[in-house]
Amino acid sequence: MPRVRLLELAHARSGDKGNTANVGLIPYDEEHYQILLQEVTADRVKKHFRCLVKGPVERFELDNLHALNFLLHEALDGGGTVSLMTDAQGKVFSTALLRMEIEVPEEVAARVRGQGRVPRPEARSDR
Amino acid sequence: MVRIASGQGFWGDDLEAPVRQVRGGRIDYLMLDYLAEVTMSIMQKQRSRNPAAGYARDFAPLMERIFAACVERDIKVVTNAGGVNPAECARAVAEAGRRAGAGGRARIGVVVGDDLMDSLDELIASGHALEHMETGDPLATVRDRVRSANVYLGARPIVTALEGGAQVVVTGRSTDTALTYAAMVREFGWRWDAYDLLASGVVAGHINECGAQATGGNCSAEWWAIPELARVGFPIIEASPDGTFVVTKHDDTGGAVTLRTVKEQLLYEMGDPSTYITPDVTADFTTIRLSGSGRDRVRVHGIRGRAPTPFLKVSVAYSAGYKAVGTLVYAWPDAAEKARAAARILRERLDRLGLAFDRILVELVGWDSTHGHLAGDPPPDLPEVQLRVGVRSGDRGAVERFTREIAPLVLTGPPGVTGFAGGRPRVQEIVAYWPALIDRTVVEPRLAVDFVQV
């Protein structure tokens, strides 16, 4: 099966609670929620972030919104005013998650390819 | 139907937004959220230097601009701008109101009693350990370094202030959501055990509390297609007595209210969505139903809630050492290699000086400072990169010395370096955040509402 970046399937927002970052992951198309449920497990997200997230990753499912919420524990170098990180408040962990690649059926890949990026003329000619 | 407008999502937000909310159409309430976890620490630092400081200073000048309109159109303003010093904040707002010609025509309600600083020892002695919610350590381990301790309050004292005829309600550490749902409780006469209704109010509050983050700001879903962010409309909740509400914004403003913008905000700073704990109710975000309801209108309904926990959250600020961050810019060719070499040299010099740091963090801004290893290896033709080195230590002297070791790298390290004209980095005291829980029966009797005449 072809691989696509989450960026092409979903949008995301992240924030912080102390030393924990959260990422909400929302598919552009509600039909793709099932794919995210199956492919974007807490385990795989932990592997994706590796040393960027020192603690465990938890996943919560919001079937009502067709969305997932991830808690990335010990991701912010102490968080808040303690952290030395540029992204001390975890604001762009969302985009880091969207780098992750997952396998999707051919027809889904064909539909979503190029989504999530500013439209560029060369991207259109690829299709 | 009651229209509750959001005017500010944090201290430092768009200063014109609340003015646009007042002038752009009908609203009944204007809520202004000025506080984040880090804000309380910052305000505490300011109060320690000046006993009359420690609140959001933007708020009084704002009220001077809108006070007259709020009185004339009976728009109630509810804000946590009081920070760690609500009484001084209210005094400044009363003066602003008089300057705006509202003298004798309004009163300000001030919520007090959230400050636990003076009774901390007594509380610890009587068995309230105030353990850190993430680490489990008792507060006693940092007691001598505690600078402030404030309880997160719900909507009850705000409702009391509104019932007492306050045109403006100033609180300290109220929860962000309470600033919105207090208006709903007051207007609709909701009971404090009507948990589904209160939970609806909490969800409305969560949507309002970050300002334009619900109306197209910071939205990652096709951000380039969101119109006219230069004059973005902040969210407005059109609340109904049955707990359902519509998220919208004023006509003829920028931004957008769509399922996507609202969903992103609902997930912002979310923990376990089934258990969103507030002082007044525990809301279940997995019960929220959304539907489009016309252009820039999203209807929200179906929300369930349950009884609140026996605890209130306490926000403690304590002194946790010192930090400083220094930067230099390296240009092509081999920008990343040069920056990394400079960092190695700097580390060796700090070692030779025998300086101890709890943490040294090296980031290359322009390469790996946001995505770490996910960015991969930098290409040899990277045009430029900013070396950013941060240090943290309990020893102020060590951090001070670090700040003097950045500029020397310009003449004593790798070439092609610039960007040092800002001078030496500043040493900052770290006032850190210690979240804890306390039995609500200890705190609730202390809460009171004072009124200040404008």
Nearest-CB residue to B371 (from A77, A89, A96): A96
Is B18 within 8 Å of B8 (Cβ atoms)? yes
User: Token pair of B126, please?
Assistant: 């009587």
Is B292 within 8 Å of B241 (Cβ atoms)? no
- Chain-chain contact of A11 with B273 (C-beta, under 8 angstroms): no
User: B372: alpha, beta or left, given left = phi > 0 and alpha = psi -120 to 50?
Assistant: left
Which positions 284-313 of B are in contact with A (Cβ < 8 Å)? 285-290, 302
User: Token pair of B238, please?
Assistant: 């059109």
Handedness of CA A68, A69, A74, A79 (dihedral sign): positive
Output the pLDDT for position A127.
45
- Chain-chain contact of B370 with A87 (C-beta, under 8 angstroms): yes
Q: In chain B, which residues have their Cβ closer than 8 Å to the Cβ of A67?
A: 263, 267
Q: pLDDT, tens digit, for every residue of A43-52?
A: 999 999 999 9
Q: What is the pTM of this model?
A: 0.96
Q: In chain A, which residues have their Cβ closer than 8 Å to the Cβ of B324?
A: none
Contact B20/A at CB under 8 A: no
Q: Min CA distance, A37 vs chain B (Å)? A: 15
Q: Min CA distance, B301 vs chain A (Å)? A: 11
The alpha carbon of residue B94 and the mean position of all alpha carbons in its chain are separated, in whole angstroms, by: 24
Cis peptide before A105 (omega within 30 of 0): no
Nearest-CB residue to A71 (from B37, B271, B320): B271
Output the pLDDT for position B411.
96
Nearest-CB residue to A52 (from B270, B288, B372): B372
Q: In chain B, which residues have their Cβ closer than 8 Å to the Cβ of A99?
A: 371, 374
- Beta-strand pair B2-8/B236-239: antiparallel
Contact B388/A at CB under 8 A: yes
Matching residue, tokens 């995505």: B371
CA atoms within 13 A on the CB side of B277: 10
- Chain-chain contact of B290 with A51 (C-beta, under 8 angstroms): no
DSSP A12-41: EEEEEETTEEEEEEEESSGGGHHHHHHHS-
Q: Considering only alpha carbons, which residue of chain A is nearest residue B291?
A: A65
Q: In chain B, which residues have their Cβ closer than 8 Å to the Cβ of A36?
A: none
Contact A22/B at CB under 8 A: yes
Instruction: Give B70: exposed, middle or buried? Use CB within 10 Å, 0-12, 13-18, 19+.
Output: buried
Contact B220/A at CB under 8 A: yes
Q: At B111, phi and psi to the nearest 5? A: -90, 120
Please name which of B196, B158, B193 lies closest in space to residue B175, comparing C-alpha atoms.
B158
Nearest-CB residue to A16 (from B269, B288, B372): B269
- Chain-chain contact of A28 with B221 (C-beta, under 8 angstroms): yes
Count of CB pairs separated by less than 8 Å, A with B: 140
Contact B207/A at CB under 8 A: no
Contact A8/B at CB under 8 A: no
Contact B361/A at CB under 8 A: yes
Q: In chain A, which residues have their Cβ closer than 8 Å to the Cβ of B285?
A: 62
Q: Min CA distance, A63 vs chain B (Å)? A: 7
Q: How far is CA B37 from CA B34, B43, B228, B234, B315, in A?
A: 10, 11, 30, 22, 8
- Chain-chain contact of B374 with A79 (C-beta, under 8 angstroms): no
ipTM of the complex: 0.96
Kindly compute the dihedral angle of the four CA atoms of residues B118, B122, B125, B131, in this order, to the nearest 10 degrees.
-40
Is B255 within 8 Å of B216 (Cβ atoms)? yes
Q: How far is residue B447's CA from residue B445's CA, in Å, rounded to a whole number?
A: 6
Q: pLDDT, tens digit, for every residue of A71-90?
A: 999 999 999 899 999 999 99
Contact B133/A at CB under 8 A: yes
**DSSP 8-state code for residue B374:** G
Nearest-CB residue to A81 (from B273, B290, B433): B433
Contact B433/A at CB under 8 A: yes
Output the pLDDT for position B137.
96
Output the pLDDT for position B246.
98
Is B235 within 8 Å of B215 (Cβ atoms)? yes
Q: pLDDT, tens digit, for every residue of B101-128?
A: 999 999 999 999 999 999 999 999 999 9
Contact B327/A at CB under 8 A: no
Output the pLDDT for position B217.
98
The band of A123, judged by pLDDT with boundaries at 50, 70 and 90, is: low
Q: How far is residue B157's CA from residue B279's CA, in Å, rounded to a whole number?
A: 12
The band of A122, judged by pLDDT with boundaries at 50, 70 and 90, is: low
Contact A94/B at CB under 8 A: yes
For chain B of 454 residues, list the mean pLDDT of each consecutive stretch of 10.
97 95 98 88 87 96 98 98 96 97 96 93 95 94 94 97 98 96 98 98 98 98 97 98 98 98 98 98 98 97 98 94 98 98 98 97 98 94 98 98 97 95 91 94 94 96
DSSP B249-311: --TT-BS---HHHHHHHHHTT-S-TT-EE-SS-EEEGGG-EEEE-STT-EEEE--EEEPPPSE
Q: How far is residue B116's CA from residue B113's CA, in Å, rounded to a whole number?
A: 8
Q: How far is residue B172's CA from residue B220's CA, in Å, rounded to a whole number?
A: 32
Q: In chain B, which residues have their Cβ closer than 8 Å to the Cβ of A123?
A: none
Q: pLDDT, tens digit, for every residue of B287-322?
A: 999 999 999 999 999 999 999 999 999 999 999 999
